[in-house]
């Protein structure tokens, strides 16, 4: 489901069962992330599928990429894999005006 920046961040912050997922490349990840994000690169193809398959399907996933395209794809893939609650950040990190931190 595509949701606005403000709604996405508010829900991600208030969701005790929420996980923020960054699906960008390693290089993009290293440029800065939304606080609390985990990283699984969608361009890894089958590797992405394997990693996602290890995630807890009962959690809610707040997914972002650079501009919203890859995260939209990730939402579709995850829904096909049985994840029921996936939320795509419209506009991605390029339009993000919330906090950004360096990955640890």
Which positions are catalytic? 65
- Rounded Cα–Cα distance for residues 29 and 15 (Å): 23
């Amino acid at each position: 489901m595509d949701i606005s920046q403000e709604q996405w961040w508010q829900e991600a912050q208030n969701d005790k069962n929420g996980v923020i997922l960054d699906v960008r490349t390693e290089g993009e990840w290293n440029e800065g992330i939304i606080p609390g994000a985990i990283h699984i690169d969608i361009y890894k193809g089958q590797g992405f599928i394997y990693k996602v398959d290890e995630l807890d399907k009962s959690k809610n996933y707040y997914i972002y990429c650079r501009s919203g395209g890859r995260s939209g794809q990730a939402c579709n893939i995850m829904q096909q894999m049985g994840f029921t609650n996936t939320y795509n950040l419209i506009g991605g990190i390029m339009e993000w005006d919330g906090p950004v931190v360096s990955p640890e």
